[in-house]
């Protein structure tokens, strides 16, 4: 979604909308609540903001787009409301960033000092390199290393990357440039080769300790996007930490729950590093996730008003990378709710960035033999980069291959000398004709119309009457695409003897983020709260092979402290997703489990207890070790460290002797209660003492579980 024009991945540009951050009225002192929607696109991203006072309804005309992006092209009449989803990593390594899952509620400075005899000692989270991520510093701290050509060796993002790539006097390391990173989370067949290309860069960045995993690439970009968002909110809305903020994340309709969770983790890291999240024990609070098609449809249909419950339409999400086609039916008008038709949505790699690939091929074909361009350190690649930037920012957005008044483009190429055999060159000029542009656009235009007609045919086979086609995404700004679809639909309408109009989203590049704000402001009548994940607690279970089949073939561990046998690192799946539909999980659900840890009787021993929460996209049986094949796919979701050393001062707390048949010794047995509390789209993981009604919370961790529900769930 939301793709327009990076100079590297080449999406489509449109004129900026007139909704760029109007200064709000200062007449009310009501505590302000912000809704901030993030549309992380394949090639372009945008952020929409709404400042809500009290419980008033959201006025779509008051939703604003973040603008004023660093290094944005100054020739535009207004500051662009989208930013290229691209980043550039430095040659040098960067200092460590904060751990993803920080230790919590430790009373002493030495947070990770845990006695080796504690029951869960194997689970204690050491602060080593494996669990820390490398991060770029603030702008003032980044200018540390100069490259040979004078470019500061630091992390660049958005338009800053375009600034680097447009320089035509150097051939830069393309492996340091990340584009289309969103496709790392798209595991469809048609994106496989893009992910294969990205994997080479990912391996290189990991080898140089610049990232820990693929999530870091997304989180690093989002961190800078959200830092800029915060800065704009502070200057335009007088935002401060006392203001409440609800974050909305826009995602593709066809993403898996695993992909949603990865994206949720990425935005959580980014919000923490951009200082929107200050509590290290919390993830983003009540994150709301909405699909890009639903968000865009909400915005477009809110603007048009020409809808009736039961109406069906095809939504074409034409971005910079993928183009998706989905058929929806209007379920209700107030609030606007949609439901997907039974037949499958479709996608293809025919977004506007592929226009740039075709244009680049043409440039290489016509300029590769012109070695006169290579002098004084200037390369042909550099010249082509310069022309690509011009194509992105000035040429492509206005190309209409159906126009009768189309004029050839005369591109400036300083130093170009024509030959007698070439009809496309002039001194210092390269000519691009209408037929050239037709060939450049052909694959993408044909790909989009093919997706559209495939949905129309499926609808006809299913007896569904399509009333309109809605076009969204950055590519929707292309007059060539709009006229192509209208032409094809006119032919189809004549054949079917009924008119099917094409509706183009106003300001299509920001329609998704704007619609996401509208959708978040009214969550009524959304999907049921059916959980699509399983949650479990890491345990050391008493060895009971006759009771639990999972223990029968496992080797028990003999605890030298209490003398008993245990199966260590098992998972008790306290919330288990149903295999098909998913279990209803209302907000307010509380699940408790007893917990205990043993410690030797030693003078300086501290009662540090770790409890670990696991998450999975699958259904699992309890009592198996976390490494067992039956727990395949599970991941750590968070953990808490609980300091129970205060019990030493409790006159009623005493060491216990091992049982008569056990080979243990005098030891302490620390018991407390674990609780999982479902609070909206949050999950709180608490350690309570002593347990029951009058317990005190001794350690807590809050994680977001928005990705564990269907997008749009309240």
Q: Which residues does residue 565 pair with via DSSP β-bridges, in sequence order?
A: 558
pLDDT digits over 7-63, tens only? 333 333 333 344 555 445 444 456 789 999 999 999 899 999 999 877 667 888 889
pLDDT value, residue 55: 67
The gap from C-alpha 123 to its chain's centroid, in whole angstroms, comes to 29
- Residue 536 tokens, joined: 């479990």
The SS3 of residue 64 is: strand
Q: What angle do CA 624, 630, 633 make, to 5 degrees?
A: 115
The values of phi and psi at residue 189, to 5°, are: -65, -40
Predicted TM-score (pTM) of this structure? 0.85
Q: Which residue has the tokens 């204690």?
A: 124
The boundaries of the domain holding residue 675 are: 530-708
Task: Please give the Cα distance from 476 to 110 (Å, whole number).
Answer: 56
Write the DSSP symbol of residue 446: H
* The three-state (H, E, C) secondary structure of 201-269, written as one string: HHHHHHHCCCCCCHHHHHHHHHHHHHHHHHHHHHHHHCCCCCCEEEEEEEECCCCCHHHHHHHHHHHHH
* Helix (H) / strand (E) containing 50: strand 44-53
The answer to whether residue 678 sits within a structural domain is: yes
Give me the pLDDT at residue 578, please. Answer: 77
Cβ-contact 430, 366 below 8 angstroms: yes
CA distances from 659 to 139, 451, 555, 563, 655 (A): 62, 71, 22, 8, 13
Nearest to 674 by CA among 714, 703, 637, 639: 639
Please, which residues bridge with residue 502 across strands? 469
**Cβ 577 vs Cβ 618: under 8 Å:** yes
Whether residue 655 lies inside any domain: the answer is: yes
CA distance 402 to 119: 73
Number of structural domains found in the chain: 1
The tens digit of pLDDT for each residue in 279-299 reads 777 888 999 999 998 999 889
Longest C-alpha distance within the chain, in Å? Answer: 103
What tokens appear for 622 in the block?
């309890």
Is there a domain that residue 673 lies in?
Answer: yes
Which pair of tokens denotes residue 607?
């009662």
d(CA 33, CA 26): 14
Q: Are strands 583-584 and 590-600 parallel, antiparallel or unpaired?
A: unpaired
d(C-alpha 93, C-alpha 598), whole Å: 42
- Look at the block and give the residue holding tokens 């604003």: 64
pLDDT at 30: 61
With respect to residue 610, please indicate whether it lies within any of the assigned structural domains.
Answer: yes
The CA distance from 233 to 527, in Å, is 31
Which pLDDT score, from 0 to 100, does residue 150 have?
56
**Interatomic CA distance for residues 539 and 497, integer angstroms:** 66
Q: In what order do the strands lie in the sheet with 682-689?
A: 590-600, 667-679, 682-689, 696-704
CB neighbours of 683 closer than 8 A, spacing ≥ 6? 535, 613, 676, 677, 702, 703, 704, 705
**Burial status of residue 95 (CB atoms within 10 A of its CB: 0-12, 13-18, 19 or more):** exposed
Report if residue 89 sits inside a domain.
no
Predicted local confidence at residue 111, as pLDDT = 30
Cis peptide bond upstream of 335, omega within 30 = yes
Residues in the chain: 714
Q: Are 461 and 319 in contact (CB under 8 A)?
A: no
Which residues does the chain have with pLDDT short of 50? Answer: 1-18, 22-23, 25-28, 75, 77, 95-146, 170
In a domain, 434, yes or no: no
**Residue among 142, 130, 157 nearest 223 (CA):** 157
Is 179 domain-assigned? no
| Bridge pairing between strands 696-704 and 635-643 | unpaired
Tell me the C-alpha distance between 569 and 537, whole Å.
Answer: 9
HEC per residue, 498-515:
CCCCEEECCCHHHHHHHH
Whether the CB-CB separation of 687 and 700 falls below 8 Å is answered with yes
Q: CA nearest 515: which of 332, 294, 711, 315?
A: 294
| Contact call for residues 300 and 452 (beta carbons, < 8 A) | no
Asked if residue 659 belongs to a domain, the reply is yes
Among 209, 98, 51, 65, smallest CA distance to 509 is for 65
Q: Each residue of 392-427: b (16+ CB within 10 Å) or e?
A: bbebbbebbbeeeeeeebebebeebebeeeeeebee
- The residue among 606, 611, 601, 609 whose CA lies nearest residue 668 is 601
Write down the pLDDT at residue 171: 52
The three state secondary structure string of 159-180 is: HHHHHHHCCCCCCCCHHHEEEC
- Whether the CB-CB separation of 707 and 261 falls below 8 Å is answered with yes
- Helix, strand or coil for residue 458? helix
CA-wise closest residue to 513 among 63, 124, 4, 54: 63
Nearest to 438 by CA among 401, 409, 406, 407: 401
Give helix 511-521 / helix 292-304 axis angle, nearest 10°. Answer: 90
The contacts found for 340-346 with CB under 8 angstroms, 24 or more apart, are 340/253, 341/312, 341/459, 341/462, 341/464, 342/462, 343/455, 343/458, 343/459, 343/461, 343/462, 344/458, 345/253, 345/254, 345/455, 346/451, 346/454, 346/455
Torsion angles phi and psi, residue 429, rounded to 5: -140, 140
Q: Enumerate the β-bridge partners of residue 689.
A: 696
């Amino acid at each position: 979604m939301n793709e327009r024009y990076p100079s590297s991945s080449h999406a489509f540009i449109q004129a900026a909308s007139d909704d760029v951050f109007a200064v709000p009225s200062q007449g009310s002192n009501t505590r302000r609540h912000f809704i901030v929607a993030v549309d992380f696109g394949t090639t372009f991203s945008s952020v929409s903001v709404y400042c809500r006072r009290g419980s008033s309804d959201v006025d779509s005309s008051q939703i604003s787009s973040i603008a004023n992006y660093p290094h944005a092209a100054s020739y535009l009449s207004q500051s662009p409301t989208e930013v290229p989803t691209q980043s550039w990593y430095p040659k040098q390594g960067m200092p460590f960033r904060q751990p993803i899952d920080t230790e919590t509620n430790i009373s002493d400075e030495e947070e990770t000092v845990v006695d080796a005899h504690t029951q869960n000692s194997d689970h204690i989270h050491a602060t080593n390199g494996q669990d820390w991520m490398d991060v770029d510093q603030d702008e003032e701290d980044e200018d540390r290393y100069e490259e040979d050509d004078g470019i500061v060796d630091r992390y660049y993002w958005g338009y800053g990357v375009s600034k680097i790539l447009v320089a035509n006097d150097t051939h830069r390391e393309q492996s340091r440039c990340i584009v289309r990173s969103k496709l790392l989370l798209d595991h469809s067949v048609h994106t496989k080769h893009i992910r294969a290309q990205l994997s080479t860069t990912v391996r290189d960045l990991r080898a140089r300790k610049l990232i820990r995993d693929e999530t870091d690439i997304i989180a690093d970009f989002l961190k800078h996007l959200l830092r800029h968002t915060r800065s704009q909110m502070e200057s335009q809305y007088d935002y401060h930490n006392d203001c409440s903020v609800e974050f909305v994340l826009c995602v593709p309709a066809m993403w898996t729950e695993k992909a949603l969770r990865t994206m949720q983790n990425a935005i959580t890291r980014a919000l923490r590093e951009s200082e929107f999240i200050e509590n290290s024990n919390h993830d983003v609070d009540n994150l709301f996730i909405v699909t890009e098609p639903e968000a865009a449809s909400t915005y477009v249909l809110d603007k048009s008003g020409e809808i009736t419950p039961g109406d069906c339409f095809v939504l074409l999400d034409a971005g910079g990378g993928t183009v998706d086609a989905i058929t929806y039916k209007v379920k209700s008008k107030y609030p606007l709710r949609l439901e997907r038709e039974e037949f499958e949505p479709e996608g293809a790699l025919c977004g506007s960035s592929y226009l740039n690939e075709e244009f680049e091929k043409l440039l290489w074909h016509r300029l590769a033999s012109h070695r006169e361009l290579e002098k004084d350190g200037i390369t042909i690649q550099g010249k082509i980069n310069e022309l690509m930037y011009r194509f992105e920012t000035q040429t492509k957005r206005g190309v209409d291959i159906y126009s009768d008044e189309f004029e050839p483009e005369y591109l400036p190429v300083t130093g170009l000398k024509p030959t007698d055999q070439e009809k496309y060159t002039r001194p210092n000029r390269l000519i691009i004709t209408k037929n050239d542009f037709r060939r450049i656009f052909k694959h993408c235009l044909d790909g989009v119309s093919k997706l559209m007609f495939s949905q129309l045919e499926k609808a006809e086979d299913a007896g569904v009457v399509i009333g309109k086609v809605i076009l969204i995404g950055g590519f929707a700004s292309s007059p060539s695409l709009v006229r192509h679809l209208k032409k094809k639909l006119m032919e189809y309408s004549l054949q079917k003897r009924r008119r099917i109009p094409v509706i183009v989203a106003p300001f299509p590049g920001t329609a998704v983020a704007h619609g996401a704000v509208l959708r978040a402001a009214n969550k009524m009548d959304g999907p049921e709260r059916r959980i699509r994940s399983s949650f479990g607690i890491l345990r050391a279970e008493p060895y009971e092979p006759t009771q639990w089949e999972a223990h029968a073939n496992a080797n028990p561990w003999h605890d030298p402290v209490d003398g008993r046998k245990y199966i260590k690192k098992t998972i008790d799946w306290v919330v288990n997703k149903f295999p098909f539909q998913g279990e209803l999980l209302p907000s307010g659900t509380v699940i408790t489990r007893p917990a205990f840890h043993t410690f030797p009787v030693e003078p300086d021993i501290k009662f540090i207890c770790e409890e670990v929460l696991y998450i999975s996209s699958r259904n699992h049986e309890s009592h198996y070790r976390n490494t067992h094949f039956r727990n395949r796919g599970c991941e750590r979701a968070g953990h808490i460290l609980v300091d129970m050393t205060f019990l030493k001062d409790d006159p009623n707390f005493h060491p216990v002797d091992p049982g008569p048949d056990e080979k243990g010794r005098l030891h302490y047995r620390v018991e407390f209660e674990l609780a999982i509390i479902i609070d909206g789209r949050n999950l709180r993981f608490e350690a309570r003492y002593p347990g029951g009604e009058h317990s005190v919370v001794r350690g807590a961790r809050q994680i977001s579980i928005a990705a564990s529900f269907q997008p749009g769930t309240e």
